[in-house]
Homo-oligomer: A and B are copies of this chain.
Amino acid sequence: MNLLLMSSSRSADSGFLEANADELAALRIRRALFIPYAIVGEDRAERVSFVSERVAELGIKLDDIDEAADPVKAIETADAVLVSGGNTFHLLATMYRNGIVDPLRARVRQGMPYVGWSAGSNVAGRSIRTTNDMPIVYPPTFRALDLVPFQINPHFTDAMPEGLRGETREQRIREFLAAHPQELVLGLPEGTALRVEGDRMRLAGRHDAWLFRAGEPRLRLAAGRDLSHLL
């Protein structure tokens, strides 16, 4: 497989797709099918053009799947796919409604490059059960593409909004692991990414990430570290 799964499109110290731009360029994608199903709201068209213009600077021409007559055929004939962030529930529900989950998984497992950020990375994991998003629509299942055999938590942070008494991100992940002790969760801080090439995986970006298992303290994964054992 050939995956680039970014935590986020932006981080505190970098602009749109900037933190992992070298990794994205190294994929040498010239044309990609864009899956914007996570983008919800009035400014949808504007956001799709923004992404198109930005990736054009990296030499990538985007085709919007929503412009295709048949989304399944579009997946079957794509050179690569880019899956944007936004709302993970809306993304997954639309992927199922348009019947692209199985064909997309099959193509990516056969080697088609897959690039995602935020919600687009979350759906590459086993399920969306560790998303941070609001469940604005009800998908037919939380099971996702299962391209990597663990759960991803994008935008991972230890920070809490000032004055708030809700749960920390780690507490939320611990609740998930209490309900599903056999699962692994990778907490990817903004600016980090997972780069999968064949049967190898490493942590890309300049920051460390975290591995959570039930009943164990979290494990720091140093920037650049090989993570192939998790595949």
Q: Which residues of A contact B (CB under 8 A)?
A: 8, 10-12, 40-42, 86-87, 89-90, 118, 128-138, 141-142, 155, 157, 159-166, 172-176, 178-180, 190
Contacts and interface: CB of A to CB of B under 8 A. Distances in A.
Contact of A162 (B11, B132, B138, B159): B159
A176 B138 contact: no
Contacts of A90: 175, 179
Given A10-B165, A12-B164, 13 more contacts: A40-B178, A40-B179, A41-B174, A41-B178, A42-B178, A87-B175, A130-B136, A134-B172, A134-B175, A136-B175, A136-B176, A136-B179, A159-B163
A172 B41 contact: no
B136 A128 contact: no
A131 B89 CA distance: 13
A40 B175 contact: yes
